[in-house]
């Protein structure tokens, strides 16, 4: 453990602190960063067959679903009108934010939820992607698309999107299952998908899959995502979140708020995609995230093993992501 405990002479109090230089070596687990190279050349999306998703009367062709400069919107009445940066983007490199993070900002495991993020935090993160102070701990399955977008848009366009998304209430779409055996999966793009009817040992991993890959590929914002984790992860994660890996100073609740719904510019983490959260903890641990405000997360991530990170991501992902609206407001 990277923690050093100094016992002050003649005193029973132990003061834990972290020496960055003496951090234990940390091996980035490849399974946490699924990546399958896209087909090259990419097949031309079909422009004839009309697709639908449950609960929507809208129909789109695959060509429309894959248009990053006029994005598919299955549920236009579930959110306010999108600003241009979210709906149309900026050619040639600034694909519309809603293409990947979806019109209602619920996002997908490979890119993350923007709904409810503090405006200043979101703007700062996009700047960090632009200047390279936020990258990925994995050389593959990286944050590449976001770097391209960040360079293709102005700060004003990012702010317009951030303000729009900040007003949307995030919703929980996660189902967390503690298991010994996990259904067999394959890698589809940047996430896992069910493959066959077998199971295999979970072996310490966190595997998040869409209920159906078809709905994920259609960019259906309501497709549930199921996360498989080892047995005992949720109570273990709860202990870490509330008591902290090294005590109150590193308890998630200390900075992210008692229900992990965020405080000021510290982002909300309750109910976010567990696989995305796990990657962020690894990104802090390896200093792939080096933006100006990442520092508080170093002591936290340094104090956790990969099993701890899996556990806390599962627990935090299982929480309700937004405060219930007061009936009087
Ligand atoms: C082509 C896909 C794509 C588009 C378009 C896109 N993003 Fe992203 N975004 C990503 C990926 C990938 C990540 C990185 C996730 C990670 O770190 O693992 C990301 C991460 C982010 C984050 C960090 C979220 C967090 O919780 O830390 C913010 C903020 C963000 N994007 C804002 C935007 C904005 C604003 C736009 C539009 C101007 C946009 N994105 C357009 C793919 C995209
Ligand atoms: C000392 C304060 C502090 C503590 C304790 C803390 N965090 Fe954070 N956390 C932050 C700050 C500040 C950020 C924003 C970092 C940035 O701007 O890059 C953050 C960011 C994050 C992110 C990235 C969110 C995103 O949208 O990408 C995750 C995930 C996270 N924290 C998880 C945790 C977990 C899990 C714990 C408990 C084990 C925890 N944090 C404890 C201050 C803290």
Q: What is the pLDDT of residues 62-105, one digit of tens each?
A: 999 999 999 999 999 999 999 999 999 999 999 999 999 999 99
Contact 209, 176 (CB under 8 A): no
Check whether residue 131 and residue 196 sit in a common domain: no
Check whether residue 148 and residue 178 sit in a common domain: no
pLDDT at 172: 87
Residues with CB under 6 A from ligand 1: 85, 95, 97, 99-101, 110-112, 114, 117, 122, 125-126, 143, 145-146, 149, 153, 157-158, 161-162, 276, 279
CA of 148 to the centre of ligand 2 (A): 25
Domain that holds residue 145: 62-166
Question: Which of 151, 166, 181 delimits the end of a domain?
Answer: 166
Report the C-alpha gap between 261 and 243 in whole angstroms.
17
**Inside any domain, residue 92:** yes
264 Cβ contact partners less than 8 Å away, ≥ 6 residues apart: 118
Count of the separate structural domains present in the chain: 2
Q: DSSP letters of 21-53?
A: GGPPP-PPPGGGS---PPPSSPPPPPSSS-B--
Question: Which of 137, 166, 195 delimits the end of a domain?
Answer: 166
CA of 202 to the centre of ligand 2 (A): 26
Check whether residue 113 and residue 188 sit in a common domain: no
Mean pLDDT for all residues in the chain: 92
CA of 196 to the centre of ligand 1 (A): 31
Report the C-alpha gap between 9 and 87 in whole angstroms.
63
pLDDT at 10: 35
CA of 256 to the centre of ligand 2 (A): 7
Check whether residue 187 and residue 283 sit in a common domain: yes
Question: Which of 112, 147, 166 delimits the end of a domain?
Answer: 166
Decide the pairing of beta strands 191-201 and 181-188: antiparallel
The 8 Å CB, 24+ separation contacts for 238-241 are: 238/315, 240/304, 240/308, 240/311, 240/312, 240/315, 241/312, 241/315, 241/316
pTM: 0.93
Q: DSSP letters of 121-143?
A: HHHHHHHHHHHTSB--SSSSS-S
Atom 27 of ligand 1: nearest residue by CA position: 125
CA of 147 to the centre of ligand 1 (A): 8
**Inside any domain, residue 223:** yes
In order of 112, 224, 320, the CA distances from 229 in angstroms are 19, 16, 18
pLDDT value at 261 more than 50: yes
Q: Atom of ligand 2 at shortest distance to CA of 244?
A: 38
Tokens representing 103 are 């019109």
Check whether residue 265 and residue 179 sit in a common domain: yes
List pLDDT tens digits, range 276-312.
999 999 999 999 999 999 999 999 999 999 999 999 9
Which of 256-294 are b and which e, b meaning 16 or more Cβ less than 10 Å from the residue's Cβ? bbeebbbeeebbbbbbbbbbbbbbbbbbbbbebbbeeeb
The pick from 112, 255, 268, 321 for probing ligand 2's pocket by mutation, whose C-beta has the most ligand atoms within 8 angstroms, reads 255
Tokens representing 253 are 């609740």
């Amino acid at each position: 453990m990277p923690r050093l405990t100094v016992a002050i002479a003649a005193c029973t109090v132990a003061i834990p602190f972290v020496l960055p230089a003496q951090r234990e070596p940390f091996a980035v687990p490849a399974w946490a960063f699924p990546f399958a190279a896209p087909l090259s050349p990419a097949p031309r999306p079909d422009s004839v067959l009309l697709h639908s998703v449950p609960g929507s009367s809208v129909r789109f062709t695959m060509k429309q679903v894959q248009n990053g400069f006029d994005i598919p919107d299955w549920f236009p009445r579930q959110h306010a009108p999108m600003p241009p940066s979210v709906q149309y983007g900026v050619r040639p490199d600034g694909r519309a934010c809603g293409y990947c993070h979806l019109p209602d900002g619920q996002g997908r495991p490979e890119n993350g939820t923007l709904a409810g993020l503090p405006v200043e935090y979101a703007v700062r993160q996009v700047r960090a992607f632009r200047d390279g102070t936020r990258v990925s701990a994995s050389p593959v399955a990286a944050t590449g698309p976001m770097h391209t977008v960040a360079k293709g848009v102005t700060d004003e366009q990012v702010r317009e999107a951030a303000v729009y998304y900040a007003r949307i209430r995030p919703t929980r779409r996660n189902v967390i299952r503690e298991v010994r055996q996990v259904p067999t999966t394959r890698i589809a793009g940047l996430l896992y998908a069910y493959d066959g009817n077998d199971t295999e040992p979970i072996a310490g991993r966190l595997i998040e899959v869409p209920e159906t890959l078809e709905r994920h590929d259609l960019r259906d914002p309501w497709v549930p995502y199921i996360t498989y984790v080892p047995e005992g992860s949720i109570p273990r994660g709860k202990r870490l979140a509330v008591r902290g890996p090294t005590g109150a100073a590193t308890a998630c609740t200390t900075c992210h708020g008692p229900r992990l719904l965020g405080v000021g510019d510290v982002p909300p983490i309750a109910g976010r995609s567990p696989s995305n959260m796990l990657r962020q903890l690894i990104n802090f641990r390896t200093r792939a995230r080096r933006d100006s405000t990442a520092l508080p997360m170093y002591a936290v991530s340094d104090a956790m093993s990969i099993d701890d990170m899996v556990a806390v991501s599962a627990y935090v992902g299982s929480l309700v992501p937004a405060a219930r609206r007061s009936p009087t407001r």
